């Protein structure tokens, strides 16, 4: 079929993370092995067993959005629109009347506008229903992240939102890749956004025993694959990328970070929050992505792991990688950038796809920091504590979410 010949490349990146707003700040932090995690500043945590998070520290919405529009958007939508603006500018993509129907948007989020929900629930209880803003619903619904980007830039092509917990950003990019590949768009703005560091969210995750409680050493708290890991660190931000059909990108002489060549999505069909002990869903997901990419396991050089720093995830992901890659698993570089950013939930996949694109284009593998105590169950090369400079050809990005939903994308170094 003709559409199978359409190649898809990454031409723009937009990042807002606990390491900084913008590609340069975040990537420099990643390459230095810096941590963006610290004590929570936005509310009183004195009664909480968890007092740390990866907060975005330098974001100013007015740098990207008109002041009168900001109050109509939950913070996760502000992040999405701002990161989307950065990505479009970085790509040099011009959306005009001539191409608007061929440019689409998909942005994922795991939780959506929970800050707005908490805020207006308090208003309702204290002041009654008349004080609820008429913008309340469009401020918080998850698809308004993609909606606001499309309205700002006039992108009238395929538009959707993915809400698959911590796999949402990767699903959004994978779905966008397929839309271009099959010929329904020539460019897609895709990724994930999240801003869910709230009292209610922290309480919910903490009571599940999912979060690290290393309150005294925040920057050491996220320690994927380390023997002493005790949970993930919740974080916020956005990662949005511009995907384009190769010939369209070449025609306008766009810079190309990487090529997207494979996508897999599966379910564990096992448990609401725990991974399948045999790793079947994750194994099938990676195999599906490699099959779609038409490459052998031995062709992969780097995996940006889901690597949440929870006892279960890291050992099960390691086991799944060994099942898929066999002996080659020990030749792979496998790192978790969540050691530095924390876990951005639905935004994680968008941010980590951008890191893979940068790793391929610049020949730098991000490290796993805080790797101090090897775990016998986690015995792969996790690029401990320092970035590695080496040429890469193919990279995989894994994302897994509550409900047993799995997503995996494969990116390739682009050579003209």
Report the catalytic residues. Answer: 166, 306, 343
Question: CA 237: distance to chain centroid?
Answer: 9
For residues 115 and 77, give the distance between their C-alpha atoms in angstroms, rounded to a whole number. 11
Where residue 10 falls (left for φ over 0; alpha for ψ -120 to 50; beta otherwise) is: beta
Contact between residue 107 and residue 149 where contact means Cβ atoms under 8 Å apart:
yes
For residues 403 and 400, give the distance between their C-alpha atoms in angstroms, rounded to a whole number. 9
- Three-state DSSP class for residue 276: coil
For residues 113 and 216, give the distance between their C-alpha atoms in angstroms, rounded to a whole number. 29
| DSSP 8-class letter at 101 | G
Q: State the CB neighbour count (10 A cutoff) for residue 127.
A: 10
For residues 411 and 50, give the distance between their C-alpha atoms in angstroms, rounded to a whole number. 36
Q: State the CB neighbour count (10 A cutoff) for residue 264.
A: 24
For residues 302 and 336, give the distance between their C-alpha atoms in angstroms, rounded to a whole number. 11
The residue with tokens 């990662």 is 239
> Per DSSP, which regions of 246-402 are E strands?
258-267, 302-304, 333-335, 364-365, 388-389, 394-401
For residues 304 and 244, give the distance between their C-alpha atoms in angstroms, rounded to a whole number. 22
For residues 369 and 388, give the distance between their C-alpha atoms in angstroms, rounded to a whole number. 12
Burial class of residue 183 in the structure, from the number of CB atoms within 10 Å of its CB (0-12 exposed, 13-18 middle, 19+ buried): middle
| Structure-token pair, residue 273 | 């929050």
For residue 143, CA distances in Å to 28, 106, 109, 263, 349 come to 31, 9, 9, 22, 17
In the chain, count of helices (H) and strands (E)?
Answer: 13, 15
Expressed in angstroms, the distance from the first to the final Cα of the chain is: 24
């Amino acid at each position: 079929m003709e559409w199978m010949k359409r190649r898809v490349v990454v031409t723009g990146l937009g990042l807002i993370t606990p390491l900084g707003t913008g590609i340069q700040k975040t990537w420099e932090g990643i390459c230095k092995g810096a941590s963006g995690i610290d004590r929570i500043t936005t509310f009183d945590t004195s009664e909480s067993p968890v007092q740390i998070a990866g907060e975005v520290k330098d974001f100013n919405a007015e740098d990207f959005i008109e002041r009168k529009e900001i109050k109509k958007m939950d913070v996760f939508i502000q992040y999405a629109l701002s990161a989307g603006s950065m990505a479009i500018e970085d790509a040099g993509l011009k959306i005009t009347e001539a191409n608007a129907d061929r440019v689409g948007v998909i942005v994922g989020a795991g939780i959506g506008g929970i800050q707005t929900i908490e805020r207006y629930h308090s208003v309702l209880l204290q002041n009654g229903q008349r004080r609820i803003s008429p913008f309340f619903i469009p401020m918080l619904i998850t698809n308004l992240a993609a909606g606001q980007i499309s309205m700002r830039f006039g992108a009238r092509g395929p538009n959707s939102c993915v809400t698959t917990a911590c796999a949402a950003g990767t699903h959004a990019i994978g779905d966008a890749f397929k839309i271009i590949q099959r010929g329904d768009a020539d460019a897609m703005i895709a990724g994930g956004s999240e801003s869910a560091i709230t009292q209610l969210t922290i309480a919910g995750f903490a009571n599940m025993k999912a979060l690290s409680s290393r309150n005294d050493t925040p920057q050491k708290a996220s320690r994927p694959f380390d023997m002493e890991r005790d949970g993930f660190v919740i974080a916020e931000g956005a990662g949005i990328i511009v995907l384009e059909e190769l010939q369209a990108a070449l025609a306008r002489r766009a810079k190309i970070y990487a090529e997207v060549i494979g996508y897999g999505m599966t379910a564990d069909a096992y448990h609401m929050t725990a991974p399948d002990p045999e790793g079947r869903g994750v194994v099938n997901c990676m195999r599906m992505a490699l099959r779609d990419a038409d490459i052998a396991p031995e062709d992969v050089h780097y995996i940006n792991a889901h690597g949440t720093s929870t006892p279960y995830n890291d050992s099960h992901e390691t086991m799944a990688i060994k099942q898929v890659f066999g002996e080659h698993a020990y030749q792979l570089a496998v790192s978790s950038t969540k050691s530095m950013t924390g876990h951005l939930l639905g935004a994680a996949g968008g941010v980590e796809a951008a890191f893979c694109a940068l790793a391929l284009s610049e020949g730098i593998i991000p490290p796993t920091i805080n790797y101090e105590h090897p775990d016998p169950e986690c015995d792969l090369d996790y690029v401990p504590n320092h970035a590695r400079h080496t040429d890469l050809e193919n990279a995989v990005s894994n994302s897994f979410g509550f409900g047993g939903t799995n997503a995996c994308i494969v990116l390739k170094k682009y050579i003209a």
